Structures are given as C-alpha cells and as structure tokens.
C-alpha cells in the first residue's frame, strides 16, 4: 500500500524521536521514500547522520540553507511528498502549527504545504492535558490535520498517562490509511459505536452490553477505503481505530449532539448500542442504603439517534445504515425496524446466547434493504466490516 509513496517526515524534539528512526526503517521496508526534516530540538535527541543514513537521503535541518534552497526551495520541499508526517509532534510544534508560525524550516514547511498532515503527538502527560495543548489539538483537527496517538502508558519522565508517541507500526498504519486512494476518498462517513452510559447517580449507571468491536471494525474498514470517518463512541471495551476522528461521549443525548455536530456526511452507520431509557432525574449525590426501603428509579425515553437522522428533511446523509440485534424472527423484526426508523439499510443479527455472537469475534448478519433480505455467511467481525464498507462504497460512489 505504501510502495512508491513519498513521506516528508518532520522529527520534533522529544525523547520519542528515537522511535522515528525505526519509523523510517519500517517505511523504507515498505517501499516508501522518506524525506527527513530535523528540527533544532530534534537534533538534540537523534543525530542528522543516523536520520540520513536510515532514510538514504540528506536530512534537511535549516531554513536558510542556501545550497538546499538552490537544490530545492522550502515551498517545493513542502509539496514534493504525498503526506507530511510529524513524529514526534511536540507541544511546541503543535502550538506553532495551530498558530500558523513559520520561524524555522519545519514550521515553514507545515504552513506552506498543500498536502495532508498527520501528527503523532508525544509529550509529558501534564503537557498533553494542558488546556492550551487541547485547544491547539482541536484547532488542528478542525484544520483537517490527522492524528495518531498518543498512547497511554509509562513515560520517560516517570509519569503515567496519555502522552507516549504511537508505536512505529501504528504510525505506519495511520500513514497507510491517510494515503489510501480508495473508492471512498473525499467522502465523509459517520459511525456510532459502543454502549452509552446513563447515570443513576455519580457512581452508578445503566448501559447495554456492547464491546464496540463491530463499530470499530466498520470505522477502520471505511477509513481503509479512503473515507474521512468521524467515529462517535460511547465507553467501549476496545480502543478506537487509527486514522479516524474520534468523538467520545457517555450518554445517548451526548451521542445525538455529537452526531448532529458532525453532519453533513455522505453516509452514516449507527452501530452503537444506545440505551433506550435514562433515569429521568439522576441524583447529584450517591444514593445511600439508608434502611428506609429500595430506591425507585423513574425512567425517561432517550432520543432515537438513528430515527432522528433517518427522518431529517434537510441535510440527511445519502445513505443511513442501522443495526438490529434480535433474538427471534430476526428478519421480520429487522424489516419492520427499517420501515419504522426510516433508514436505508439494516444489518440484522441474531444475538441469542446460543449463537455466541455477543462479545465474540464472529458475526452472522442479514442485510436488509428496500430490495429485500440478503443472508451473509457467518464470518469474522472484521470481514463483515470490510464487506459492509465495500457495499457502502458501491452505493454512494455510483454515477
Ligand atoms: O431500536 P433498536 O435499539 O433495536 O435499533 C437498533 C438501531 O438503532 C441501531 O442501529 C442503533 O445504533 C440505533 N439506535 C439509535 N438510538 C437509540 C436506539 C437505537 O441510534 N436511542
């Protein structure tokens, strides 16, 4: 997938820079050409010699390098690649990018480029959590910058939390997804996934069982076909996929808000197991066992996100796909659900305990469209996702 592609790799000044040497190796192994740019701070962590030795080409490290300006100007350099990758992207580099500064070679290239930019942030957990960094991140995402990581874990500085740079192979995967010239390039697709948590009080909640595995696989498969994916997820067991824009929510109402904020979209896939009810008035303090009898919970109905979006009169996505998890008369119930909700397709599955589908790695689904029901053989959730992604591509890219 990366064969013959060209990446402009900007190495920022952080301890994670050593991983960028491995990243260069991994990219080269896959036939991808790497033009490295080392910031002044980056050169404190890895030497220009090791970077250029691994990349097999000269490393660019100064803005006013006259020889290189004669060979290749910084504007040309910024556009000669298929993708610009910043790894590690330090808090400082992210701030420069968000503010549009251009006071060294790296920031100038980032401002001058007309190519997509993927950043792999790496910094101390406090720096990552700082409102300034989070503000810059939101600005960059709004500008269309792609992100991979950071991961959570032990940090070189001795602290624990999000801030570790994504591993080289994760960055390779994100580069692959960003460069995929798949059939869904230029299409924006919304995917909901995971359960929602509806609070009872500050420590208790009600929820549906959902690992988020199928929704995650669908988002990854759509991204692999080149779609720009917005992934709105409740608190799932599996981590969100790389190469998608992740919006994390807790409740059904937050999920609806996030979905509406992410529109317009060319297609939307609603794989989340949204709780149908919430506690009408969640308690602000923990409900105590006070010996005066059991608490009574009053429920209120949650918004139906799939039905709300399916029935939009203005700005409805061109294709809306829902799910139906049933335990009996799967096709009958799912066909009725398709009509009731107003969506275009329903992917129905039998989740009776004897099927082992719930929480398992396989799924047996029936695709219900206006034309009727189509049984798919039992297959891995990843395979279901790839097949659905291809069907979506066929449906929304015709003509
Ligand atoms: O009505 P039911 O929950 O069985 O419908 C399942 C489909 O509806 C799934 O696609 C699910 O994501 C979606 N749904 C929703 N909002 C709700 C309930 C279900 O989007 N409140």
Cα 275 to ligand 1 centre (Å)? 8
- CA 148 to CA 140: how far, in whole Å? 13
Q: Is 286 helix (H, G, I), strand (E, B) or coil?
A: coil
- CA 295 to CA 288: how far, in whole Å? 9
Distances (CA, A) of 289 to 1, 2, 181, 299, 310: 59, 60, 59, 20, 43
The pLDDT of residue 215 is 95
DSSP 243: T
Cα 38 to ligand 1 centre (Å)? 49
Whether the CB of 272 sits within 6 Å of ligand 1: yes
The DSSP result for 14-46, as a single string, is STTHHHHHHHHHHHHHTT-EEEEEE-TTGGGTS
Whether the CB of 196 sits within 6 Å of ligand 1: no
Of all protein residues, the one whose alpha carbon is nearest to atom 17 of ligand 1 is 304
pLDDT beyond 70 at 65: no
Mean pLDDT of 387-399: 89
Cα 337 to ligand 1 centre (Å)? 9
- CA 32 to CA 3: how far, in whole Å? 5
Whether the CB of 214 sits within 6 Å of ligand 1: no
**What's the whole-number average pLDDT of the chain?**
91
Mark out the alpha helices in the chain (DSSP H runs): 17-29, 48-55, 66-71, 74-79, 91-99, 105-112, 125-129, 131-142, 168-179, 213-224, 252-262, 305-310, 330-341, 381-396
Whether the CB of 274 sits within 6 Å of ligand 1: yes
Closest by CA to 20, choosing from 41, 65, 50, is: 50
Whether the CB of 345 sits within 6 Å of ligand 1: no
Taking only the tens place, the pLDDT of each residue in 88-130 is 999 999 999 999 999 999 999 999 988 889 999 999 999 999 9
Mutational test site, ligand 1, from 323, 339, 358, max ligand atoms within 8 Å of CB: 323
For the chain, the farthest-separated pair of C-alpha atoms sits apart, in whole angstroms, at 84
The pLDDT of residue 393 is 95
Pick the residue with more confidence: 273 or 67? 273
Whether the CB of 305 sits within 6 Å of ligand 1: yes
pLDDT beyond 80 at 357: no
For the four alpha carbons of 140, 144, 150 and 151, in that order, the dihedral sign comes to: positive
pLDDT beyond 70 at 66: no
**Residues annotated as part of the active site:** 157
Mean pLDDT of 380-391: 91
Taking only the tens place, the pLDDT of each residue in 123-178 is 999 999 999 999 999 888 767 788 999 998 887 778 888 899 999 999 999 999 88
Of all protein residues, the one whose alpha carbon is nearest to atom 13 of ligand 1 is 306
- CA 233 to CA 243: how far, in whole Å? 15
* Token pair recorded at residue 158: 């001795």
The DSSP result for 375-398, as a single string, is EPPPEEHHHHHHHHHHHHHHHHS-
Cα 257 to ligand 1 centre (Å)? 15
- CA 181 to CA 364: how far, in whole Å? 30
Of all protein residues, the one whose alpha carbon is nearest to atom 5 of ligand 1 is 324
The atom of ligand 1 lying closest to the CA of 325 is 4
All structural domains of the chain: 6-179 (3.40.50.1950), 188-396 (3.40.50.10300)
Least trusted range by pLDDT, from 4-8, 184-188, 316-320: 184-188
pLDDT beyond 80 at 62: no
Closest by CA to 109, choosing from 25, 35, 22, is: 35
pLDDT beyond 90 at 399: no
The pLDDT of residue 67 is 61
The pLDDT of residue 159 is 82
Whether the CB of 323 sits within 6 Å of ligand 1: yes
- Given a contact cutoff of 8 angstroms between Cβ atoms, the answer to whether 149 and 164 are in contact is yes
């Amino acid at each position: 997938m990366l064969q013959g592609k060209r990446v402009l790799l900007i190495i920022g000044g952080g301890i994670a820079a050593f991983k960028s040497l491995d990243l260069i190796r991994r990219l080269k192994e896959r036939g991808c050409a790497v033009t490295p740019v080392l910031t002044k701070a980056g050169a404190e962590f890895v030497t220009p010699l090791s970077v250029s030795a691994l990349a097999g080409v000269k490393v660019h490290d100064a803005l006013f390098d006259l020889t290189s300006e004669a060979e290749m100007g910084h504007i040309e350099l910024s556009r000669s690649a298929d993708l610009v990758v910043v790894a590690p992207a330090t808090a400082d580099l992210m701030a420069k990018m968000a503010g549009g500064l251009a006071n060294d070679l790296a920031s100038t290239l980032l401002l001058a480029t007309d190519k997509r930019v993927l950043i792999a942030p790496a910094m101390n957990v406090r720096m990552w959590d700082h409102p300034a960094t989070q503000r810059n991140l939101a600005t960059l995402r709004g500008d269309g910058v792609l992100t991979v990581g950071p991961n959570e874990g032990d940090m070189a500085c001795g602290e624990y939390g999000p801030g570790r740079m994504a591993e080289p192979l994760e960055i390779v995967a994100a580069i692959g997804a960003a460069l995929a010239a798949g059939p869904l390039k230029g299409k924006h697709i919304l995917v909901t996934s995971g359960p929602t948590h509806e609070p009872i009080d500050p420590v208790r909640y009600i929820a549906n069982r959902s690992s988020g595995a199928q929704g995650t696989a669908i988002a990854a498969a759509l991204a692999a076909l080149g779609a720009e994916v917005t992934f709105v997820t409740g608190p799932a067991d599996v981590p969100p996929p790389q190469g998608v824009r992740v919006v994390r929510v807790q409740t059904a109402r937050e999920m609806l808000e996030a979905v509406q904020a992410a529109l317009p979209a060319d297609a939307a896939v609603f794989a989340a197991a949204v709780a149908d009810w919430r506690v009408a008035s969640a308690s602000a303090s923990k409900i105590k066992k006070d010996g005066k009898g059991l608490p009574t919970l009053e429920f209120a109905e949650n918004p139906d996100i799939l039905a709300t979006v399916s029935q939009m009169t203005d700005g409805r996505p061109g294709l809306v796909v829902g799910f139906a998890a049933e335990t009996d008369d799967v096709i009958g119930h799912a066909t009725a659900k398709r009509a009731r909700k107003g969506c275009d397709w329903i992917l129905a599955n039998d989740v009776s305990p004897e099927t082992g589908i719930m929480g398992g790695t396989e799924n047996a689904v029936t695709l219900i469209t206006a034309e009727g029901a189509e049984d798919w053989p039992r297959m891995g959730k990843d395979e279901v996702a790839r097949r659905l992604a291809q069907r979506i591509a066929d449906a929304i890219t015709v003509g």
